[in-house]
Chain A
Amino acid sequence: MNSENSIEVRDVTKQFKIFIDKGRTIKERALFRRRRQYEHRQVLRGVSFDVKKGEAVGLIGHNGCGKSTTLKLLTRILYPDTGSIEITGRVSSLIELGAGFHPDLSGKENIYINAAIFGLKREEIDRRLDDIIAFSELEDFIDNPVRTYSSGMYMRLAFSVAINVDANVLLIDEILAVGDANFQIKCFNKLQEIKGKGTTIVIVSHSLDQIEQICDRTIWIHEGLVRMEGASRDVHPAYLDYMEMKRRENAEKEAKRKAEKEGVKEAEKKKETIPASAYGMEEGKRWGNGRARIVEVRILDQENQERTIFRVEETIKIHLKYQVKSLVRDAVFGLGFFNAQGLRCYGTNTEIDDLPPFNLSEDGEMEVILPRVMLLSGVYTLDMTIEEGHGMPVDYFREVATIEITNSKRDLGVMRMDHQWILDYEKK
């Protein structure tokens, strides 16, 4: 095993027997032999990937693609049929929260039981107890039986234990939806802190946003194979694209099925509303269903002159022309600034900014005015998007423009923050 790696997965295959009707008693096994028919389902067909020490990796894929099975194999709940998995260090999994909680025992007693299930020793739990209780914010209730807790309190306690295990490798399955918004932010920050300490993290999630925020890299698992791996910013668009294609296929199938029922005429109508040539990418920088297209993007300064170099705090206007091929309902315009490292420095859209919903029915132009761009010096790329409904890309145009920001001052970071120094505070 390469010493730089924390996890090495090599050619792992796994198949399950899917029983039509599984018999588990002798009677069923003897009498209903036919009912016990099963089929093999090959869930993984030779998955290989590495995760480096201290790296955070996201596993994505559609339902049933094998990503959760992969995580279970990493956790050693399941074992591969062929191939090998090597992991160095202590593994902790946030797959099941509150495993082994007993309702009649107090919060504190349950902390001990739950932490022990994660493989912690007595002294280790003693040492972490205060941290766990503080993180859960349940100081006043910690000696009450867990059955008196609300479900939110229960999950908070469970998450606090799991997150304080101090593993070398942390495996997470869709669990960041714990508690209220404040607690979620807290969990998220804690994860960042854990990552900062050099813990290797593998996350399975449907939320690409979460993965983008935490992970350095994304692995897309498709039909039991690694279809693509790389920076989240490269993999996620390709994945979304695929999902969109899938959706369209299903929609067309559905339309066909309906057509067979309702006659050919209806089907013709349906087809017209989905332009056949809409799906396609330009140099891998553009995707969406193509009902509307961005045809021109111009970057202007305050005097409406085209420019690409700006100073910090200058006004930037983005002028956009679009064509509409068929009606876009509940359209959303969006923008995103990315720096050279691929970090999203700022992103927003008309929905986030609470603009009233609108439809796009004919070609038009629009403009975004950014009166004071606070980004510090560097080269930035701009993404412009048209989406419809709930985040369905119509035309997602990546790196549509590049701007450069120069800074006459020497302040550091990604963006300037408004501030003032008050040195004679006492006298005031």
Chain B
Amino acid sequence: MTIFREIYEYREMIGSLIKRDLKSRYKGSALGFLWSFLNPLLQLIVYSFVFKIVMRASYERYYLFLFVALVPWLFFMTSVTGGASCVWSQKDLVNKIYFPREVLPIAHVTCQLVNMLLSFVVIFAVILVTRHGMNLAALLYLPAIMLVEYLLALGIAFFVSAITVFLRDVEYIMGIVMMAWQFLSPVMYGIDLIPEKYRVIYQLNPMTPILMAYRDIFYYKQPPQLGTLIQATALGAIVLIIGFGVFQRLKRHFSEEM
């Protein structure tokens, strides 16, 4: 239990690592902080063009259908791919001073969360401009589903960041894994396209219920189903416990491996 108290003691470090990351990210670029909004918007345009015009996806308001799942997906993806190297890339710190090592993945994933929240400003703007409308009761579930996704991303970040210290390939493997994972998750399409017999397997993907919940809230304007929420929370919790456990086992040897 002392580890949790210690991580709390180092909350200022987590905060300043996030601040440092956000502040330095766009330093020197002409548009600066605007990129936080431009980036998702430009991605949206590319994806919409490919899937609506070229691939002829049949969903109504496909850009919104895609966008409300794509933004949470990008949060998850950057948390994991960047998370793989978040301990290794700070080897100077890890080798030279003590701090609870958990701080690094926590700061990284939290930083991505902040980025997602900024992207959500764009989502709300798009919904407003297109007069899609919003269901306030459904919106109440948003913080809960964000929290669940955050914990899931954190669990995987713990896991891959610890493994990467010992096996550098993981960082590159994760790039491929995440691409496959994206196509196997209901980001660009809905779960209704998956044949019935494969759905059970499909539901084991912890990102499936999370993305479904986001889409329920914004696209279908309805509260997510209770089953979806429970499933998301359970999978998220399991992944977090495993990831944290692995991290605890390996962190003592980080410095020796670097």
Contacts and interface: CB of A to CB of B under 8 A. Distances in A.
B138 interface: no
Nearest to A97: B96
B167 A25 contact: yes
Nearest to A91: B98
Interface string B152-183: 00000000000000111100000000000000
A16 B257 CA distance: 10
Contacts of B190: none
Chain A interface category by residue count: 20 to 34
A72 B92 CA distance: 14
B94 A105 contact: no
A264 B106 CA distance: 68
B168 A24 contact: yes
Nearest to B12: A116
B258 to A, nearest CB: 10
A113 interface: yes
A77 B27 contact: no
Contact of B97 (A27, A29, A118, A120): A118
Contacts of A100: 17, 20, 93
A116 B14 CA distance: 8
Nearest to A122: B12
Contacts of B98: 75-77, 91, 93
Contacts of A102: 20, 24
Contacts, number: 83
B13 A116 contact: yes
Interface residues of B, number: 30
Interface in B14-28: 15-17, 19-20, 23-24, 27-28
A96 B92 contact: yes
Contact of A119 (B20, B24, B93, B99): B99
Contacts of B10: 116, 119
B178 to A, nearest CB: 18
B95 interface: yes
Interface in A69-105: 72, 75-79, 91, 93, 95-96, 99-100, 102, 104-105
Interface string B65-89: 0000000000000000000000000
A117 B9 CA distance: 11
A29 B166 CA distance: 11
Given A105-B24, A116-B12, A121-B12, A96 B255 contact: no
A188 interface: no
B199 to A, nearest CB: 34
Interface string B1-45: 000000001111101110110011001100000000000000000
A113 B17 contact: yes
A224 B15 CA distance: 40
A113 B24 contact: no
A183 interface: no
Contacts of B27: 104
A74 to B, nearest CB: 9
Contacts of B99: 117, 119
Contact of A117 (B11, B19, B97, B255): B97
A119 B8 CA distance: 10
Given A93-B97, A96-B97, A100-B93, A120 B12 contact: yes
A112 B96 contact: no
Contacts of A116: 10, 12-13, 15-17
A72 B98 CA distance: 9
B96 A77 contact: yes
B256 interface: yes
B169 A117 contact: no
A344 to B, nearest CB: 34
Contact of A77 (B9, B24, B97): B97
A108 to B, nearest CB: 12
A225 interface: no
Contact of A104 (B24, B92, B169): B24
23 contacts: A17-B256, A24-B168, A75-B98, A77-B94, A77-B95, A77-B97, A77-B255, A78-B256, A79-B252, A79-B253, A95-B97, A96-B95, A100-B17, A105-B23, A116-B13, A116-B15, A119-B9, A119-B10, A119-B12, A119-B99, A120-B12, A121-B11, A122-B15
Given A16-B256, A77-B98, A99-B93, 12 more contacts: A17-B256, A24-B168, A29-B167, A77-B97, A93-B97, A95-B96, A95-B97, A104-B27, A112-B16, A113-B16, A113-B17, A116-B13
